[in-house]
Amino acid sequence: MKSNVLFALVVCLVLVAAIAPLRRAVATEQPVAVDSAAVFNDPAAPVTGNPKGDVTIVEFSDYNCPFCKQAAAALDKLVKSDGKIRVVHKDWPVLTDASAYGARLALAAGYQGKYAAVHAALMQIPGMRISKDRMLEAVKASGVDMDRLESDLKVHAKEIAALLERNSEQAETLGLQGTPAFLVGPYIVPSALGYDDFKQVVADARTKMKGDK
């Protein structure tokens, strides 16, 4: 188990270090074989931003990935400034057991309408290899009803596990090698992006989608 965690962590570090300089140049169109409807419109997947936005960004992330945290801050800034972006969150805990624990907490919070608050709280914890206790502290400080959260973790355990499994299967089908990774409209971007990079890829996606109509 430790070797698998170490390998996943190395993949995250090496992948981002290798492709970060390329940024939007690595954006490629989604494979034809991918069931886009299942990826973009899973009814159980949390959605933030503008639910009627003209561009959807699907975010695959891990709460112990420092590059995910950097990208999350940039994406949040763009979503707020743009106003027409829909974000689908795919919790994909690949680094540590604590990552999976954080993902379950965030998804359970969704049953009381607090996924966004918990997601933001976990993404704002600096560093990597964050412990379960540190994650729980951040969740408690986010303003959720903890009694309700603990109840939902138990009552909806199977649904949460099934969603995490679907997220993992979709990531594998897309050929993703680690976190963070994004689907921006018709494009796959397997790297952390800054604000300007997100803005440009969204503009490219809008142009592409208009041309395909």
Give me the architecture of the 42-212 domain, per CATH.
3-Layer(aba) Sandwich (3.40)
Tell me which residue of 75, 95, 101 sits closest to 12, measured CA to CA. 95
Report the alpha-carbon distance of residue 139 to residue 102 in Å, rounded. Answer: 9
Asked if pLDDT for residue 149 goes beyond 80, the answer is yes
Provide the token pair at 108: 């359970």
Q: Angle, to 10 degrees, between the axis of helix 132-141 and the axis of helix 97-109?
A: 20
Spans of all domains in the chain: 42-212
Q: Report which residue type is found at 113.
A: G
pLDDT above 90 as % of the chain: 78
How far is residue 168's CA from residue 68's CA, in Å, rounded to a whole number?
Answer: 16
- The reported pLDDT for the residue numbered 33 is 53
54 token code pair: 């003209």
Q: What pTM did the predictor assign?
A: 0.85
* Residue 189, pLDDT above cutoff 50: yes
Give residue for tokens 């009694």: 147
Q: What is the pLDDT of residues 16-58, one digit of tens each?
A: 333 333 344 457 776 545 678 899 999 999 999 999 999 999 9
Q: What is the dihedral of CA 133, 137, 140, 146, to 10 degrees?
A: 20
Chain centroid, CA 29 distance in Å = 19
Rounded CA separation 179/35 (Å): 20
Token duo for residue 198: 């997100």
Report DSSP state, residue 144. Answer: -
The reported pLDDT for the residue numbered 64 is 97
- So what's the pLDDT on residue 14? 36
> How open is the CA angle 120-126-128, to the nearest 5 degrees?
105
Query: How long, in residues, is the chain?
Result: 213
